[in-house]
Structure 1
Amino acid sequence: MTGIIILAAGSSSRLGKPKQNLIFKGKTLLQRAIETAIASVCEPVMVILGGNAAVIEPTIKNYDINIIHNPEWDEGMSSAIRTGISGLLKIEPNIQSVILMLCDQPFTDTYLLNHLIMANEEQGITACSYNNTTGPPVLFDAVYFNELLLLKGAEGAKKVIRKYPDKVIKILFPLGSVDIDTIEDFEQLNRE
């Protein structure tokens, strides 16, 4: 079984308002991410909230998901990952792998999430490849959970990916480079 953790705890400081609630094609970015995750073979689906949770949570309360609040969200991405992995292990102690997904990559689709699972090898990491880098969405086998739980500060899961290059399978996802960090990014997305 593969769980999925949607990382949505950031405060969107560069954007100036919660990116999770930006409307794209009739739904918020976070709603789109949740619906994509629910339609995949992954379960359980978890959403990690932090900054702006009070205005984000009402927009997702009707989904059959696990919402976890990250009290240390201002520490950075690592705290959201730690909160997600800890929460996942409480719900499913025998979970075999997890996909870490962002809510601000609007072109992530169900096919891609399922492809990450199908392409993964035992004790492997399957990451998306775009713009000469590897990144989310990314699948980690359970053997990496302890290392994910040790992440600190602003560092994300890329630290674990770099540590095990021989275990990483890359999936081409050119549109993975489209993420929303600024108003200009969002305006560009809506022009496409």
Structure 2
Amino acid sequence: MKRHCALLLAAGGSTRLGRPKQLLTIHGVPLVRHIAELLLATEPERLIVVTGGAATETGQALAGLDSVLVQNPDWKTGMASSLQCGYQALGTDPGLLLIAGTDQPRLTCEHLSTLLRQGDSHTDVVTAYGEEGRGIPVLLSPATQLRLADLRGDTGLRQLWKNGASTPAFLHAPELGFDIDTPEQLDAAIRAGWIDRD
């Protein structure tokens, strides 16, 4: 496996859902722990988990895992601050950076391994959900990581490639286009068997 570090974004407040999505469960395992275990299975040098909303409960859900929790004091401002907080915690020379979130119940280790196979020190890899939808998980090259400091608010990672400075490769995974942001999406995930019923 290529040398890399991993970053799990788990700071959201889940305001539209009305409950912490990090703590939803898959076969009795909190979603944040499930995703962290997938990232650890790729054998990163370090796994940083950025917390914000429900930080105490998220930390409890991750107890015993080989990860470093970093609290983002500005998590309410959006994803950009969590990306920057996590990246700063990695220190110098993290190698390739594998980034995932906590609201994709259909994410598998194979998705993450494919990102690592496709990427290299000059090539980012972004997940493509369809014609327009693109996002996490992603693999960032060292050069692109330096541009995380330019992000603001909740614009997310898409801004990194908008100016055409670099063109990423794509992992085509339409199943990852489903995430859990609303009660309706949670109900759909439960009906499909992707998330446990309470």
The C-alpha deviation readout for 1:124-146, integer Å capped at 9, x for no partner, is: 11011113222110111011122
The one-letter code sitting in structure 1 at the alignment partner of 2:51 is L
Residue 100 of structure 1 pairs with residue 99 of structure 2: yes
Q: Is the 8 A contact 2:121 2:142 kept in 1?
A: no
Partner in structure 2 of residue 37 of structure 1: 39
Structure-to-structure mapping, 1:72-151, within 5 angstroms = 72-89=74-91, 93-132=92-131, 133-151=133-151
After superposition, the C-alpha distances for 1:41-62 in whole angstroms (9 at most, x for unaligned) are 3231111001121222111122
Distance 1:113 1:170 in 2: 12
Show CA shifts across 1:92-151 (max 9, x none). Answer: x22221011011111111111111111114411101111322211011101112211221
* Percent identical: 27
**What is the Cα-based RMSD across aligned positions, in Å?**
1.4
AA aligned opposite 2:52: G
What SS class does the counterpart of residue 65 from structure 2 fall into? coil
- 1:165: how far off? 7.1
SS at match of 1:114: helix
- Residues 165 and 175 (structure 1), Cα distance of their counterparts in 2 relative to 1, 3 Å cut: farther
Cα gap change, 1:139 to 1:163, in 2 (>3 Å): farther
Unaligned ranges ≥5, structure 2: 193-198
Q: Which moved more, 1:68-77 or 1:157-166?
A: 157-166
Q: Indicate the residue corresponding to 1:54 in structure 2.
A: 56
Distance (Å, rounded) in 2 between the aligned partners of 1:184 and 1:45: 31
TM-score (norm 1): 0.93
Secondary structure (helix, strand or coil) at the match of 1:6 reads strand
What is the CA–CA distance in structure 1 between the aligned matches of 2:165 and 2:143, rounded to whole Å? 15
Asked if residue 24 in structure 1 is aligned to residue 23 in structure 2, the reply is: no
Offset at residue 26 of structure 1 (A): 1.7
More displaced 10-residue stretch of structure 1: 43-52 or 70-79: 43-52
Structure 2: distance between partners of 1:62 and 1:150 = 34
Instruction: Say which is worse superposed, 21-30 or 80-89, in terms of deviation.
Output: 21-30
Q: Mean alpha-carbon deviation: is it higher for 157-166 or for 111-120? A: 157-166
Is contact 1:40–1:111 with CA below 8 Å preserved after alignment? no
Separation in 1 of the partners of 2:60 and 2:30? 12
Q: 1:160 aligned to 2:177?
A: no
CA contact (8 A) 2:125 2:170 kept: yes
Contact 1:46 1:66 in 2 (8 A): yes
3-state SS of paired residue (1:14): coil
Q: Which of 16, 34, 41 is the matching residue for 1:14?
A: 16
- Indicate if the aligned counterparts of 1:3 and 1:42 stay in contact, CA closer than 8 A: yes
Partner of 1:173: 173
SS across alignment from 2:150: coil
CA distance in 2, matches of 1:65, 1:159: 28
